[in-house]
Amino acid sequence: MSRRVLVVFAHPSRESLNGVVLTRVLDGLRRGDHDVRLRDLYAEEFDSRLTLAEKRGHLDPPETKPQLTRDFDDLRWCDTLVCVHPTWWGAQPAILKGWFDRTFANGVAFTLPPGAKNIRPALTNVRRIVTVTTHGSPWRVNAIQGVPGRRIVDRGMRAVCHPLCRTSWIALYALDRVSLSRRERFLRRVERRMTRL
Amino acid sequence: MNATVVYAHPDPESFGRAVLDRVVRGLERSGHDVTVLDLYGLDYPGAISPAEWQAYGTGSPIIDPTVAHHARLVQSTDALVFVYPTWWSSMPAIMKAWLERTLVEGVAFALEGPRNRLTPKLTGLRNVVGVTTYGSSWWYVKLVNDAGRRSVLRTVGLLSAGRARLSWHGLHSLDGQTARRRERFLDDVERAMGALR
């Protein structure tokens, strides 16, 4: 089944290993004949800082935030969200965390009915969330840090998606020490997984 | 004791601002020297810039004078206090950007030996404290998991090589709280800050 895939890329350079990962993600998706939209947050110079107006209006409807129209449209369009990024300090780069902060807005990602204590899911079109990431540190260090980035997405963001939404975390650890052949194996795995989404 | 308070909230009239004021008051009452880094007030960038990413591997990763200043503060501070609203289970992007830009190699840690072993460098740090407000209720925060708390206490805590005392203060269901319970939270926070040694 071909899927509608929103790929969000958060790395300052396409010349980096993450840039290579992105290429392989897109190759895999093309081979699987999926519909793809790509958001390159650094190339777009996305401002990750939720503004004062957005904070004060955080329960206002999406129409009041025309600066985020494209993001809202992308989120509502996709059934699969693929995030490609390095893991810095155990979590997503700030630019991607900020994309979550600003675009997972009321009326798009969640609703808060009057009197409700917690948000209700509104992004029920999203049935898959895939993270493809590289860690500078070995798996063990990430385990000590508690992998907060994985929790943000696989628990926090997933909670507003489809109730059966599946999440996967495809990661390469200890970047600086890993052999070329392992790196290539990781890239092949990424490509394969994207084709078969 | 020197205390550095890192604060992120876009709204100067928010409850978050009141939290900051009481944190500062508590510290000052006990005679501590307090420096507040108000990230929104400083118009702090929301991401590592491409130039900073290029500089990261060079051994002198800091190219911005503001970052250099903050790095010096962090190296000589006895307490690091993070004050922020929790958005999507973690800190606002602007604060994540602060961690990424400030706690770099040579400041917060060193990579030593042939295997690039991570060696903590903030060994003078005696306290790492997080103070946050959650929109969600206690059980929701536990369920989706408190990634921000992990980022602050474990990741930053790790850099003190286990020497810093870690403490956490959170107010849940912010919008549903009575004025009295909010006031009690502020009192508790001020008292806890005054008791830091």
Residue A4, strand partner residues: A35
What is the DSSP secondary structure assignment for residue B12, as one 8-state letter? Answer: T
Strands A120-121 and A110-111: antiparallel
Q: Give the lowest-confidence range in A90-94, B136-140, B183-187.
A: B136-140
Q: Which residues of A touch B116 (CB under 8 A)?
A: 176-177
Please give the pLDDT value at position B57. 76
Residue A110 tokens read as 């969640």
List Cα–Cα distances, A119 to A38, A65, B8, B141, in angstroms: 28, 19, 23, 12
What stretch of H or E contains B99? helix B93-102
Residue B37 tokens read as 């880094």
Mutation site, A41, A81, A97, interface B, largest B CB count within 10 A: A97
Among the partner residues A54, A90, A177, nearest to B115 by beta-carbon distance: A177
- Count CB-CB contacts under 10 A for residue A34: 21
Please give the pLDDT value at position B40. 98
Among the partner residues B88, B115, B151, nearest to A157 by beta-carbon distance: B88
List Cα–Cα distances, B106 to B5, B59, B118, B120, in angstroms: 21, 8, 11, 10
Residue B116 tokens read as 């690039």
- CA nearest B129: which of B84, B181, B73, B88? B84
Indicate the residue type of A87.
Answer: T
pTM exceeds cut of 0.90: yes
Q: What is the distance in angstroms between the Cα of A148 and the nearest Cα belonging to chain B? A: 4
pLDDT in tens, B51-109: 999 998 787 899 999 999 999 999 999 999 999 999 998 999 999 999 999 999 899 98
> What are the φ and ψ backbone dihedral angles of B132, each rounded to 5 degrees?
-140, 160
pLDDT at B146 over 80: no
Per-residue pLDDT of chain A (197 residues; tens, 9 = 90+): 799 999 999 999 999 999 999 999 999 999 999 999 999 999 999 999 999 999 999 999 999 999 999 999 999 999 999 999 999 988 999 999 999 999 999 999 999 888 887 889 999 999 999 999 998 776 666 666 667 788 888 888 899 999 999 999 999 988 777 888 999 999 999 999 999 99
Burial class (CB in 10 A: 0-12, 13-18, 19+), A17: middle
> Going by C-beta distance under 8 Å and a sequence separation of 6 or more, which residues neighbour residue B22?
B186, B187, B189, B190, B193
Q: Which residues of A touch B49 (CB under 8 A)?
A: 12
Instruction: Tell me what ipTM this predicted complex has.
Output: 0.93
Residue B61 tokens read as 């990763």
Taken in order A87, B47, B43, A150, the sign of the CA dihedral is negative
Please give the pLDDT value at position A140. 65
Among the partner residues A11, A144, A152, nearest to B89 by beta-carbon distance: A152
Please give the pLDDT value at position A144. 66
Binary contact (A91, B176; C-beta < 8 A): no
Percent of chain B predicted with pLDDT > 70 = 98
> What are the φ and ψ backbone dihedral angles of A43, each rounded to 5 degrees?
-60, -35
What stretch of H or E contains A6? strand A4-9
Binary contact (B11, A152; C-beta < 8 A): no
Q: What is the distance in angstroms between the Cα of B30 and the nearest Cα belonging to chain A? A: 32
Residue B136 tokens read as 């969600």
What stretch of H or E contains A102? helix A94-103
Please give the pLDDT value at position A76. 97
To which residue do tokens 């860690």 refer?
A135
As a three-state string, the secondary structure of B136-149 is CCHHHHHHHCCHHH
